[in-house]
Structure 1
Amino acid sequence: MGGRAAVLQDKIPELRAGKPRARPGFMQELDKPQIMFVTMFDPDEPIDAIIEASRRMPEYVCYLTGNYKKIFRNRSLDENVETSTIFTGFVSDEDYLSLMENSDLVVVLTKKDLILNCGAYEAISFNKPLILSDTATLRDYFNNIAVYTKNDSRNIEESIKCCLAVSDSMVANVIDGKVELKGDWENRFIDINEQIKSIEGCR
């Protein structure tokens, strides 16, 4: 109909506090690497593969956020799960951000394409090493900010171990990539603003 579409993606949030947040009380075994899985236990998430991967990594502490009761109503929460896998349930915003800030690695996975995960934006705000699902949309947008994994347990496990081995270089990639994403957002915002002004001028 002659319209011109413009897309303004989510902006990288400013989540870093003036001083480090205190760790939430549920964080355990702090001598081990702390892995945060941003999960909501929705159908598009490879929950079984995540749990299986965490079961095979007792040398790490893995936290799964969100309402695990969605899928564990008829299953034992302790079934095939190591004690180093923590199901946080819903937590306050402050505990959620504190967990992310105090984690060594953030993992956000989906089985769907055409999705940009909010958890990825949050992790980037904290300059955290990041693992995302290997989809065309995520690769195209986040580029070399993240490591990309297939959604099976073996690939998830291998990606986590690889990321932790090169975490310093991953942090550097996140910091550089964040600058590019912010610049892209600003350019898109300016373009949309100019379009709005031109439309208003035609009235």
Structure 2
Amino acid sequence: MQDYFGYELIYVPPTGSSIYTKPFSYISQWIKTLEHIKRSDPDVVWIQTPPTFLPHILLSYRFYSRRKFRIVFDCHNSTFYEPWVRIPGLSWALRRGDAVLVHNSEIARTTRHIGLGDERLVLLETRPAQVNLLESANHSSREVLVPCSFKSDEPVEAIIDAAKLSPDITYILTGNYRRYSQAWRFEEGLPPNLKLTSYISTAEFNRLLSTCSVVLGLTTREGVQLSVANEAVGAGKPMVLSDTKILRDLFGEAALFCNNTGVSIAQALQEALSARSLLANRSVQLRSVREVRWTAQANALKLSLDVLDRKSKEC
């Protein structure tokens, strides 16, 4: 999105992660964000949510500073789930932005439950990852890449069970497993075919993505579109995904789908490994279709922002 729309990307990191320091970290981030907006004096400000109180702060600053910059709220799916959806005035704040971006049709339907109409809502699906593959997978390889955040919607126990049921497959789990509520399970007793990488660099992740045979993406929550699935499509890789409505809508015949149980996961992976060439071709085809669709959606958003810009200059 940054390359296409040409905005300057600013990341304001937290200053603390514990429950006691987080409120002070948020305040520090608010101040730094507003200071940057004041210095740069932009025509358009893109803000990613959550946190869902950031729209309130930005709208208040625009009102009291008398600046006329437009606001685009780029809403991550979790904006519309607890706890963030419970922030008072969320719907009020979003309705006062110039555009509200959501990234799949399921979330677009969810926004109506909080009273957000269609006049500012923009569906901009996640673009397939722009991946440069420097290596290729060995045709005899049976490595499965499993990118994890170890959050509550990921059925980690089922992945462990699947690894035990399929000792001929190597499971490579990325991410910080110490965040997992059952982290003690990773210290001992894991099957030898389940490998943990912890945090890795982007270059190392892309190498694993290049050389793996199948990408496995799992969630227990509807409406989650899985970044890993877009990365797999961008890399033209076979996929096994959780059987949810939104994932079927987005990835269709380019993936095999499973229930979040060890037996179902192991069985789907065996099938994907057997059909890896066919699934890889379908993933490449889907990448082309999704690129065309994303470009059309992005063009429509760009046009609407240009129209708003002309109107503001006329005023």
TM-score over 0.5 for the alignment?
yes
Q: Which amino acid aligns with 1:67?
A: N
Residues 4-54 of structure 1, C-alpha deviations (whole Å, 9 max, x = no match): 31121222122114x428x9xxxxxx9651111111211110000001101
Task: Give 3-state SS (helix, strand or coil) of 2:252's partner.
Answer: helix
The CA deviation at 1:70 is 2.4
Equivalent residue letter for 2:128: I
Indicate yes or no: 2:38 matched with 1:38: no
Aligned counterpart, 2:299: 190
Confirm whether residue 130 of structure 1 aligns to residue 239 of structure 2.
yes
Note if contact 2:128-2:231 (Cα within 8 Å) is conserved in structure 1. yes
- Aligned position for 1:6: 122
Q: Which residue type is aligned with residue 309 of structure 2? A: E
CA RMSD of aligned residues (A): 2.0
1:62 and 1:85 in contact (8 A); partners too = yes
Identify if the C-alpha distance between structure 1 residues 13 and 169 changes in structure 2 by more than 3 Å, giving closer, same or farther. Answer: same
CA distance in 2, matches of 1:93, 1:4: 34
Tell me if structure 1 keeps the 8 A contact 2:177–2:186: no
**Equivalent position amino acid for 2:281 in 1:** A
- Aligned twin of 1:58: 167
1:116 pairs, out of 225, 229, 240, with 225
Once the two structures are aligned, what percentage of the paired residues are identical?
22
Contact 1:129–1:163 (8 Å) recurs in 2? yes
Contact 1:32 1:59 in 2 (8 A): no
Query: Which of structures 1 and 2 has the larger relative contact order (alpha carbons within 8 angstroms, sep 6+)?
Result: 1
Partner of 2:228, secondary structure, is helix
1:89-108 aligned at under 5 Å gives the runs 89-108=198-217
5+ residue gaps in structure 1?
24-29
More helix by share: 2
Instruction: Tell me, in whole angstroms, the C-alpha distance in 2 between the residues paired with 1:125 and 1:83.
Output: 30
What is aligned with 1:20? 135
Structure-1 separation of matches of 2:124 and 2:256: 24
Give the aligned length. Answer: 194
Q: TM-score, normalising length from structure 1? A: 0.88
8 A Cα contact 1:64 1:85, kept in partner: yes
The Cα of 1:191 is off from its aligned counterpart by 1.2
- In structure 1, C-alpha distance between the alignment counterparts of 2:185 and 2:235, rounded to whole Å: 34
In 2: Cα distance, 1:110 partner to 1:55 partner: 20
Cα distance 1:76–1:113, how it changes in 2: closer, same or farther (>3 A)?
A: closer
Mind listing any 5+ residue stretches in structure 2 that lack a counterpart? 1-94, 96-116
Give the equivalent residue in structure 2 for 1:179.
288
Q: Is the 8 A contact 1:45 1:109 kept in 2?
A: yes
Deviation at 1:90, TM superposition (A): 1.1
